[in-house]
Structure 1
């Protein structure tokens, strides 16, 4: 009886671990998608802020008497655009990296749950085999379905040596 309960416990534990692994995988995938969305929003904000800053830079250059679109004025605008693009790409890379890490974490959780399920099934099978072996060993040397021979001198007190059955 104890072995049967242990076998069921192994199966239930394995299934619970598997379901937990699936849940954690799905949760990690959701978090990865959110990280990518957050990264896209942040990248958009950086690009918007850069456009505003470049617009202010152009206006300030014109107000200060610089000839717009030539010489050092264009170099300053070009450098501002390069910096804004690098900032946006850095944010995109960081979001993609975070999302990739979360997906890997989810895959590892699912794998651990799958392995626990397999381990639980093997544990249940092992307990079943052990219970069968224990039962077979306990029944070894006995005949009849009631645990012994009718004429073995056991429960009825009759000895088979005197010829009376």
Structure 2
């Protein structure tokens, strides 16, 4: 298991993993995560691992933390909301999915387009209580998730765990249901 490997490799790996785990709660850019780990290691006067090592560590931790966020968000949806969201992905014969329709940008600022856009926003709000779904998810994470490409989405694991054995989560930074 990776946690055993990190424990064997010593305090440098543990310090880097803990720094990345803490930073990934609010950041998502791999370069930012690596810089946080480097800063912590330099301040502690520890040997610096190779860039590819930190890059892989940041990638694994970021993926697991993001999947934890996804699992929490999905768990906050009821069956009707979940079915409604999945329905957006159905593509009728010869048409486009409702998801594609929702992504359309606003048109030129005219009164009639404003009314169309307000109706569009009403349809978005009818999908479900997104404020509840995203409760305690940091705004930077929400922004990043909103900008992710849909072809890279994978369903969250049913029981999220972190093999990096990070320090205990503080209540202010953790995501809970």
TM-score range, shorter chain: under 0.3
TM-score, structure 1 normalization: 0.26
> TM-score scaled to structure 2, two decimals?
0.24
Determine which structure has the larger helix proportion and give its number: 1
